[in-house]
Structure 1
Amino acid sequence: MSREKEVKTNAMRFLDKKKIPYKVVQYECDEFTDGMAVADKTGIEIERSFKTLVTHGRKGEYYVFVIPVAMELDLKAAAKAVGEKSVEMLHVRDLLAVTGYVRGGCSPLGMKKHYKTVMDSRILNFREVAVSGGRIGSTLLMAPEDLLGAAQAMTGDIARNEDE
């Protein structure tokens, strides 16, 4: 009798090592899809679904930002939060080399290196939030305090609505 073994991602192994509780929600998807579609596929409310974005600053440093999936990163606020004059989105072709993750599967946990991480303060409005599990088709549900601690992240007002 064979039992299908759950494939662990770097993000899951990272949390397991630190003994931080989380739940995995799997969804069917073969290629990149945006966070709004993932929330719809998983049935997780859009308000508590967060996406991970990676930027680089003028000093050549990389920064990780976690914001609600229905919002955009406010680049000025993001730069200020990390002490840069400005930040730019990392080109998708560089994402795997910098983080170890692909677009649509980028988790703020278990990257190749630890980067300064800022999560939008709205993350504290929920008992449980959803972030990428480290691969397309996998989402992690966990307490925001656990996520912040595991990612060694700070919070800030870094997201805005598209029309702002």
Structure 2
Amino acid sequence: MVKKKPKKHLVLRLLEGKHIPHTTRTYDPDIFVTAPEVAEGIDMPARQVFKTLVTLPDKGKPTLAVLPADAALDLKALARAVGAKKARMAPLADAERMTGLKKGGISALALINKGFHVVLDESARELDRIAMSAGVRGMQVVLAPDDFIQLTRARIAPIARYE
């Protein structure tokens, strides 16, 4: 009997095809729901696990804001980073419709060349590795921030706010 290879997700195929060093971490998406919970589920510090939020600047393309799990998004700073006056969060249903991905699986790596600007919080530059969704709920990919920046053509800006 021939065993089938498990299906590789788009993000993993992309990283392997470009020979980008990475690892994956899995978690139960029904138990670990919020970004800080996901960090706990994959046993990494929340400042090293990055969430992706879909935003709508008042002009230009929809934007993916990528920031640490334990931070809030500074919408004014994000707007400045993309040359807009204002930005707002996309409602969840709109974010899922626009990306074709479910909450917890939205990833800038899965949306390369899909018409989104990407803005990465500047804190990523201080880290050797960052984790983010692999484009599917329950899986995170860990890679070097510079590789993420190069792949997504992300802009770097101070978009995280801590309360």
Q: Same fold (TM over 0.5)?
A: yes
Q: Structure 1 residue 154: deviation in Å?
A: 1.6
| Superposed displacement of residue 104, structure 1 | 1.0
Alignment of 1:126 with 2:131, yes or no, is no
Q: How many residues align?
A: 162
SS at match of 1:11: helix
Contact 2:62 2:115 in 1 (8 A): no
Is the contact between residue 81 and residue 155 of structure 2 (CA under 8 Å) also seen in structure 1? no
Report the AA paired with residue 38 of structure 1. V
Deviation (angstroms), 1:44: 1.1
User: What is the aligned-residue RMSD (CA, Å)?
Assistant: 2.0
Question: Tell me, which stretches of 5 or more residues in structure 2 are unaligned?
Answer: none
Match of 1:140 in 2: 141
What is the CA-CA distance between 1:13 and the residue it aligns to?
2.4
Q: Partner of 2:109: helix, strand, or coil?
A: coil
User: For each residue in 1:29-73, what CA deviation from the matched residue of structure 2 results, as whole angstroms up to 9, or x when unmatched?
Assistant: 237711110111110111211100111122262011100100011
Q: Distance in 1 between matches of 2:92 and 2:31?
A: 14
CA distance in 1, matches of 2:3, 2:35: 31
CA distance, structure 2, for counterparts of residue 61 and residue 32 of structure 1? 31
| SS of structure 1 residue aligned to 2:110 | coil
Which residue number corresponds to residue 33 of structure 1? Answer: 33
Q: Is the 8 A contact 2:61 2:115 kept in 1?
A: no
Distance 1:33 1:109, change over 3 A: same
SS at match of 1:65: strand
TM normalised by structure 1 equals: 0.90
The amino acid of 1:8's aligned partner reads K
- 1:77-88 alignment to 2 at 5 Å? 77-88=77-88
Q: Tell me the distance in 2 between the aligned counterparts of 1:118 and 1:132.
A: 15
Shift of residue 4, structure 1, vs aligned partner: 7.3
Partners of 1:5 and 1:49 in 2: how far apart? Answer: 29
Residue 2 of structure 1, CA deviation? 7.1
